[in-house]
Structure 1
Amino acid sequence: MKKNIAIIMGGYSSEYEISIKSGNVVYQHLDKTRYRSYRVIISSEKWVYLANDGTEFPIDKSDFSIEIHNKKVNFDCVFNAIHGTPGEDGILQAYFELLNIPQTSCNHYQAALTFNKRDLLSTLKPYGIKCATSYYLNLGEPIDEDEIIKTVGLPCFVKANRAGSSYGISKVYERENLKAAIANAFTEDNEIIIESFLDGTEVSVGVITYNNEVTVLPITEIVSENDFFDYEAKYQGKSQEITPARITKTQEANVVRWAEYIYKTLGLKGYTRSEFIFIEDIPYLLEVNTTPGLTEESILPKQAKAAGISLEKLFGSAIDEALR
């Protein structure tokens, strides 16, 4: 019997349009012989099922169901394609856990932890995982430029603490540009993280559960045409994403070991994509994404392809694991 699958997309953040693209790719590639797929748009204005003819049917939030022509439809599983809040920060994960509806991303605690860059790095440091020197700042606190530069140096990165797709991030070379970068980061979040610049090879490592086994996908090297891997580099072709990465066997072994260790130690499930920068042979962790981009141009689907996994199998496996 076919399973009813709600593919949730959209969200409340600046990543709304990117999420819509990811969700539509999932919709196109899910096996129609196994699943009845429903595109569910979640926004701050409404939650609706969007039919192919453009008709919208409201979601009953009491049990996450829809009614189509007087017939109630419940879902066997939710495929989470929302980047940012509320799909990547634990809010929807907790909601679906309360409703006992399986969903494809990690559980609510792990989602909240990984979405908060400051908390994630603080949690992983005692396990021996290397990361950049950092300085934390909250909205309304005094900005001590001398202390920031003393702590992290220049150049440095100013980032929104809870945002994705490089929204709210700036690379700062000069002291006089620091406050503008901080103001930019505060447009995305009321918490920011300022990090020291790590000069090395950047890689992205996909770790998934596939056929009931934790699997590290082929590693991708990031070579940005811009000053860093910003929005343009990620989504507008201003970068080279080289899979497999041009790194040494020692570097590969080290980053595979740490990426898998993070996945298992944090109790993650579903898809993840972790970003590292190598300082010599040592990978320094930047962040962990638990609902990474799923368009044909996105890194994780390209890594799956390099591993011989089609989009149909990749997306189907996420549902199989959630239902398991």
Structure 2
Amino acid sequence: MSKKNVAVIMGGYSSEFEISLQSGEVVCESLDPTIYNIYPVHIFKEGWYHVDTLGNRYPVDKGTFSFSIDNDTITPDVVFNTVHGTPGEDGYLASYFELLGIPHTSTGFYQAALSFNKRDSLTVLKNFGVKCANSVYITQGMEIVPQDIVDKVGLPCFVKPNRAGSSFGVSRVAEEKDLLPAIEEAYKEDFEVIIESELVGTEVSVGAYRQNNKTKVLSPTEIVSENDFFDYEAKYLGKSEEITPARIPENETKAVQEETLRIYELLNMKGVSRTDFIIQDGVPYFIEINTTPGLSKESIIPKQAREAGMTLTEFFGILVEEALQA
């Protein structure tokens, strides 16, 4: 049986491109080269390129998502998506690959776009009884009355870009005077901003994925940040402790895993996702769902896969095979 060509896409157009490159490199290192031909593909605003181990760049034909190496044209059989933020996590690349008929490891374009938009995903899930923090949505140019926002969400609160990841542009606001500067900071990432009540409890993150057309849920990871919240430094610069499995009672573990499964299936997800919660008074409150979660060695999903007894080679292979069968 001939080996399948796997393009591992990484990079992207957002502030998360460096994190994405780390994720992509781990996937390339981990996939089994006896089963797959592995082609790293860097996606940037200035161009899309297959980049080989020597750093040689081969331009990608965006009309077919193919590239030529020594007069051989390579068209991937499947794409492993590790692009965080736009265009990999917000549905643009999913719709592109679906138009080309190339299978990919991430969820569908609608699910990606919906989950990447915090306001819209919260609105949908609340209708199904998923518990979430109180929130206010604003857009750049709107008149803002800080007191009105505080009356709705209270203090402390969190100010977040509506469509961004890795905690870029996120601030915890404890005093009303700090609200407008926090909003301006969030506007650097997105012209839409969501402001949420602070939930007090244990922060956990739970992975889910599909195998043989069945949703599997991983063990929760407990997040203990040295900073005010699980920000960029905490996520990527060692300023947090991530404990897998989480140190929570068995009934809370069961509740948060069941809610992860319910959300994954309510949204009709595919591929691997990571859903974040605050468990407050024993109840999981949904924060957000990430459809191209970090896969670098420091990331949560690889830790959960290892906790489940899988090597990254096995886990990433499951994601590729599931995409090929879809």
For the criterion TM > 0.5, the same-fold answer is yes
Range class of TM-score, shorter chain: over 0.9
Structure 1 Cα separation of the partners of residues 55 and 223 of structure 2: 38
Question: Which residue of structure 1 lines up, in the alignment, with residue 25 of structure 2?
Answer: 24
Structure 2 Cα separation of the partners of residues 278 and 56 of structure 1: 46
Q: Identity percentage over the alignment?
A: 56
Question: Which residue of structure 2 lines up, in the alignment, with residue 85 of structure 1?
Answer: 86
Name the aligned partner's letter for residue 177 of structure 1: D
Question: Which residue of structure 1 lines up, in the alignment, with residue 57 of structure 2?
Answer: 56
* Residues 255-307 of structure 1: per-residue CA shift (max 9 Å, x gap): 11110001111110110000000111110000000000001110000000000
* Residues 42-93 of structure 1: per-residue CA shift (max 9 Å, x gap): 0000000101111101000001000112111111000000000000000000
Question: Which residue of structure 1 lines up, in the alignment, with residue 290 of structure 2?
Answer: 289
Question: Which residue of structure 2 lines up, in the alignment, with residue 153 of structure 1?
Answer: 154
Structure 2 Cα separation of the partners of residues 186 and 29 of structure 1: 37
**Two-structure CA RMSD over aligned residues (Å):** 0.7
Equivalent residue runs for 1:1-324 within 5 Å:
1-324=2-325
Structure 1 Cα separation of the partners of residues 105 and 82 of structure 2: 9
Name the aligned partner's letter for residue 322 of structure 2: E
Structure 2 Cα separation of the partners of residues 73 and 156 of structure 1: 50
What is the deviation of 1:252? 1.3
Runs of 4+ in 1 over 2 A off after TM superposition: 210-213
Structure 2 Cα separation of the partners of residues 69 and 310 of structure 1: 34
Structure 2 Cα separation of the partners of residues 51 and 254 of structure 1: 45
Q: TM-score with structure 2 length normalisation?
A: 0.98
What is the deviation of 1:213? 2.4
Q: TM-score with structure 1 length normalisation?
A: 0.99
What is the deviation of 1:229? 0.4
What is the deviation of 1:212? 3.8
Q: Name structure 1 gaps, 5 residues minimum.
A: none
What is the deviation of 1:211? 4.4
What number of residue pairs does the alignment pair up? Answer: 324
Structure 1 Cα separation of the partners of residues 211 and 283 of structure 2: 27
Name the aligned partner's letter for residue 3 of structure 1: K
What is the deviation of 1:146? 1.1
Structure 2 Cα separation of the partners of residues 278 and 301 of structure 1: 22
What is the deviation of 1:210? 2.9
